[in-house]
């Protein structure tokens, strides 16, 4: 729980630092491999946005597909989060490093790959009135 609140705090500070005070919609992209409870994050964001005197209408938290890159052959591939079983998802959520136990490079079979996208927050965007 503390994790989502710390994240929400960082997001709100980031928005403030951009000089943004109001917007129609806040879009936050989170990596599918990150252990984020989206409901808690949304709740925390709403509370903090209010506390900081910002006016942001909707909050949309979007899950980003992980992008992996093989260090051995350079191949890049995406994981479709919906293709991951619940067990695998949970285990990776709790320990992202456990991804190496479940996946390997589809081209050369190496388990020496990096997570290019799919962890942390990759985008924070405030959309204006249209
Ligand atoms: Zn490879």
Q: Quote the CA–CA distance of 127 and 130 in Å, as a whole number.
A: 8
Distance 54 CA to ligand 1 centre (A): 46
Cα separation values, 11 from 32, 42, 84, 109, Å? 18, 11, 28, 38
Distance 74 CA to ligand 1 centre (A): 6
Cβ atoms of 120 and 30 within 8 Å: the answer is yes
pLDDT of residue 91 exceeding 70: yes
Q: pTM for the complete prediction?
A: 0.78
CATH class of the domain comprising 2-127:
alpha beta
Distance 73 CA to ligand 1 centre (A): 4
Ordered by start, the domain boundaries in the chain are: 2-127
Q: pLDDT for 51-71, tens place per residue? A: 999 999 999 999 888 999 999
Distance 67 CA to ligand 1 centre (A): 14
Q: pLDDT for 16-50, tens place per residue? A: 999 999 999 999 999 888 778 889 999 999 999 99
Cα separation values, 52 from 60, 68, 121, Å? 19, 37, 21
Count of CA atoms in the C-beta half-sphere (13 A) of 50: 7
Distance 101 CA to ligand 1 centre (A): 15
Q: pLDDT for 116-129, tens place per residue? A: 998 888 899 999 86
């Amino acid at each position: 729980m503390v994790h989502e609140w710390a994240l929400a705090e960082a997001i709100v500070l980031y928005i403030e630092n951009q000089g943004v005070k109001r917007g129609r919609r806040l879009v936050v992209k989170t990596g599918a491999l990150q252990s984020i409870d989206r409901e808690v994050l949304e709740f925390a964001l709403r509370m903090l946005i209010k506390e900081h005197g910002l006016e942001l209408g909707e909050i949309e938290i979007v899950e980003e597909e992980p992008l992996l890159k093989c260090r051995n052959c350079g191949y890049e591939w995406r994981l479709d989060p919906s293709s991951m079983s619940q067990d695998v998802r949970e285990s990776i959520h709790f320990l992202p490093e456990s991804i190496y136990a479940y996946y390997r490079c589809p081209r050369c079979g190496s388990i020496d790959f990096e997570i290019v996208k799919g962890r942390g927050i990759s985008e924070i965007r405030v959309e204006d009135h249209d």
